[in-house]
Structure 1
Amino acid sequence: MTGWAGSGDTNTQVRLKFATKDEAVAYATRKGFDIHLVPAPPVSLKIQAYADNFR
């Protein structure tokens, strides 16, 4: 055994990253992929001082 896991379908192992949503949509339509967009959750920051960790 070499430790390698084999698969007949390697598409599940591929990760693509794009700078913008428009680039991702253009790539998917060009390749004929189905598109399912999931919006990112809003980011909320809790601003606090370091000293607040010890209260």
Structure 2
Amino acid sequence: MVARIFKPARNAMQSGKAKAERWQLTYEPESPITIEPLMGYSSSSDMNRQIKLSFETKEEAIDYAQKNGIPYQLFEPHLDTRRKISYSDNFKFGRAQSWTH
């Protein structure tokens, strides 16, 4: 029963960083998801899949896992490498490419 400690990535439909600043502790799946034959629902006998704990800092999550004797893996977040672009740069005089229309 190994836990993952990570910072969740933003949703593709999310432009802000509202829920992406907290660290999360979840458990690795112990059994695969099965599809129930009658209705087609996905199910699992692993109850730890439902546990998602959130923490303000990485250190709080690590302390919680160590205090409760939970083995864990730490996944560092990837840095956001988006460039700052400005709409007004499309119309500036010394633009590298000329307008096509």
Q: Does TM, scored on the shorter chain, surpass 0.5?
A: yes
TM-score range, shorter chain: 0.5 to 0.7
The question of 1:33 aligning with 2:70 is answered yes
Higher RCO (CA < 8 A, seq sep 6+): 2
Instruction: Name whichever of 17-26 and 7-16 sits farther off.
Output: 7-16
TM-score, normalisation: structure 2: 0.41
Q: Which runs of 4+ in 1 moved over 3 A?
A: 5-9
2:83 is matched with which residue?
46
Identity of aligned residues (%): 34
Higher strand share: 2
Higher helix share: 1
1:9 is matched with which residue?
46
Q: Which structure has the larger Rg?
A: 2
Figure out how many residues of one structure are paired with residues of the other and give that number.
52
Which ranges in structure 1 are unaligned for 5 or more consecutive residues? Answer: none
TM-score, normalisation: structure 1: 0.68
**1:6–1:51 CA distance, 2 compared to 1 (3 A):** same
The 2-side partners of 1:44 and 1:12 are apart by: 32
Deviations 1:1-54 (A, max 9, x none): xxxx7754321111111111110011001111111001111111211123568x
